[in-house]
Amino acid sequence: MALIVDELVFRFPGAPAPVLNGCTFAIGGGERVAILAPNGAGKTTLARWMAGLLPDGGFLNAERGGVRIGGLPATSFTASQRAVAVQFVGQVPAQQMSGAAFTVYEELAFGPCNLALPRAEVRERVDRALAMCNLEHLAGRDPFSLSGGEQQRVSIASALAMRPSILVLDEPTSNLDPESRDALIAHLRALPDDMTLIVLEVALRPSLAFAERFLLLDGGAIVADGTADDVMRHPRCVALLGTTAIRAAAAQIRDAGKWPAALRLPLLVDDGRVAFREAADALG
């Protein structure tokens, strides 16, 4: 399912400037997209718009533009239609727990049960989501007794149990230790091919591990859109988010005049192994 953000201008009441200012982009069905931006740049606000949680029907409305999901205005969806179309997982998983479940299994079943699905389908969805997020051994635990990383996986599994067409994740690795982060990335890479995955991140490394397309949010608008190499070479990306350690090391070698001009700087460790070997061979 495609998602389009069209000339979206939004400011919070009383704010001197819009947090989103002409934000425009389109994401096709099945794409794996990372939207990069520093803290305070409006990532969470944009995520909530993409998930249909804004506008809220009260004071939080767009000054211009909006969001379309599957070709329809997001505002035209009922709550149940939106829940099936797009799921949002925020940075604080404990805040997204239903509070109505005593076990992880019941937490995952909460959403599908509210869709009035047959009991057998609810069980199948929950079992699959547990397996996808490696939570089978925690199915009988109280969700609030889990670690932060485990709760994050429960939140994502709960979203997956709804079988959305679009999954929006806001800094999903921000509170995870390295082992949990790598496990979560592996789960994201294993998501169904037809599911659109949109991750909003300040960290470069997690995005590089699964995303195929990168967008850079700056000043409330998308200022770069392309491959990892395209976007991470953008001057604003380097200024706002820095670069990877491998690229920084290669850049130092280049600045010292010992990097072949025709050889691109690597982004990842795997790329770096090849690039450094080619650089050494070229320089004799």
Q: How far apart are CA 113 and CA 161, in angstroms?
A: 10
Q: Is the dihedral of CA 99, 162, 176, 228 positive or negative?
A: negative
pLDDT (0 to 100) of residue 35: 98
Q: How far apart are CA 227 and CA 225, in angstroms?
A: 7
Q: In this prediction, what percent of the chain has a pLDDT beyond 70?
A: 100
Would strands 86-89 and 32-36 be described as parallel, antiparallel, or unpaired?
unpaired
Whether the bond into 143 is cis, omega within 30 of 0: no
pLDDT surpassing 90 at residue 60: yes
C-alpha dist (Å) from residue 151 to 36, 40, 142, 167: 24, 24, 10, 17
pLDDT (0 to 100) of residue 173: 83
C-alpha dist (Å) from residue 258 to 164, 233, 245, 249, 254: 50, 20, 18, 12, 5
Q: How confident is the model at residue 184 (pLDDT cuts 50, 70, 90)?
A: confident
Tokens of 40: 């305070």
Strands (E), 19-127: 20-27, 32-36, 64-69, 72-73, 86-89
C-alpha dist (Å) from residue 5 to 26, 66, 104, 262: 6, 6, 34, 38
List of long-range contacts for 54-62, beta carbons under 8 Å, 24+ apart: 54/10, 59/13, 60/10, 60/12, 60/13, 61/10, 62/8, 62/9, 62/10
Residues 6 or more apart in contact with residue 161 via CB below 8 angstroms: 108, 109, 111, 112, 125, 126, 128, 129
pLDDT surpassing 80 at residue 257: yes
Whether the predicted model's global pTM rises above the 0.85 cut: yes
Q: How far apart are CA 87 and CA 110, in angstroms?
A: 14
Q: Is 149 within 8 Å of 180 (Cβ atoms)?
A: yes
pLDDT (0 to 100) of residue 165: 97
Q: Which domains can be identified in the chain, with CATH numbers? A: 3-242 (3.40.50.300)
pLDDT (0 to 100) of residue 78: 94
pLDDT tens per residue, range 90-140: 988 888 999 999 999 999 999 999 999 999 999 999 999 999 888 999 999
Q: How confident is the model at residue 264 (pLDDT cuts 50, 70, 90)?
A: confident
pLDDT (0 to 100) of residue 253: 92
Query: What does the pLDDT average to over 35-55?
Result: 95
